[in-house]
Amino acid sequence: MSTKIKILVPVKRVIDAALKPRINKAKNGVETVGVKYSINPFDDIAVEEACKMKKTYKGMVEAVHAVSIGPSKAQETLRTALAKGVDTSTLVDVGDEEVEPLVVSKILKELVEREGSNLVVLGKQAIDDDSNQVGQMLAGLLGWSQATNAAKISIGKDGVVEVEREIDGGIEVVKAPLPMVISTDLRLNEPKFVTLPKMMKAKKKPLEIIKADDLKVEIKKRLETISLEEPAPRKAGVIVKDVDELISKLKDLKAI
């Protein structure tokens, strides 16, 4: 393969996966004040995989560039990615407003073209809006191949990428020549923790901040939030003392 691989890794800053989000008083969003934020877990896997590829396919992978689209605080998310081994990064500062997947995809398309990327590795979904859309939309906009829910990725010498995908009922294997968009599933790898020295070093790595305007992408909402509510609580259950009582309770509930 003559052209080198340039990887783009989009990362999102989300409410930490271990936290239970609270709905705000206006019922149009979640409480954000005093809440711990982290890198979206699937994006963490994407970063890990991109950095791993750089080592595994030495000489083939030229660079890994991370991108985040979000508030200025998303710089922290990019610093984490840089500390994990990403070379350079861009923050597209869009303020606190949540940007819909279609717009995110359009911004990413511009960045892919600007960076000359030929492989995008990203999380299969963000754990806040649970859309599972951006990878597929970006692949569509670029006219590239897509492999979602990747559990294993291997790149041949000919630049053909083979991806094992998690699908309903098992595994599917697809292959495609670059350029390509791959979204990561949980079992692709186990992201490592970032050490403090690496975090310090990452402060010196490039982090460019731009606006969506600079890429000539209009941020426009297509979806209007009518309400955001807590799910209906379940009725309090009972604790039974033995199996006999369990069985009779299940019969009462007509569950067996």
Interaction with another protein in 163-182: which residues (CB under 8 A)?
165-177
DSSP-derived secondary structure letter, 184: E
Q: Which span sits near another protein by CB under 8 A: 86-94, 123-131, 196-204, 206-214?
A: 123-131
Range 229-248, binding another protein (CB under 8 A): 229-231, 234-235, 237-244, 246-247
Locate 254 and state its tokens: 């007509």
Q: Does 158 bind another protein (CB under 8 A)?
A: no
DSSP-derived secondary structure letter, 83: H
Q: How many residues bind another protein (CB under 8 A)?
A: 79
Check: CB of residue 189 under 8 Å from CB of residue 49.
yes
Q: Does 255 bind another protein (CB under 8 A)?
A: yes
Q: Beta strand pairing status for 207-211 and 88-93?
A: parallel
Residue 253 identity = L
Report the length, in residues, of the chain. 256
79 or 165: CB nearest another protein: 165
85 or 179: CB nearest another protein: 179
Smallest distance, another protein to C-beta of residue 97, A:
15
With CB under 8 A as the contact rule, the residue among 1, 3, 16, 17 that binds another protein is: 17
The 68-87 site mask, x for binding another protein (CB under 8 A), equals --------------------
Smallest distance, another protein to C-beta of residue 114, A:
19
Check: CB of residue 198 under 8 Å from CB of residue 83.
yes
Helix 134-142 vs helix 101-115: crossing angle, to nearest 10: 50
Smallest distance, another protein to C-beta of residue 25, A:
14
* Listed residue (64, 46, 70, 55) closest to 7, CA to CA: 64
How far is the CA of 30 from the CAs of 7, 83, 115, 251, in angstroms? Answer: 33, 29, 34, 40
Range 100-119, binding another protein (CB under 8 A): 100-102, 105
Distance CA 245, CA 242 (A): 5
Q: Does 225 bind another protein (CB under 8 A)?
A: yes
21 or 71: CB nearest another protein: 21
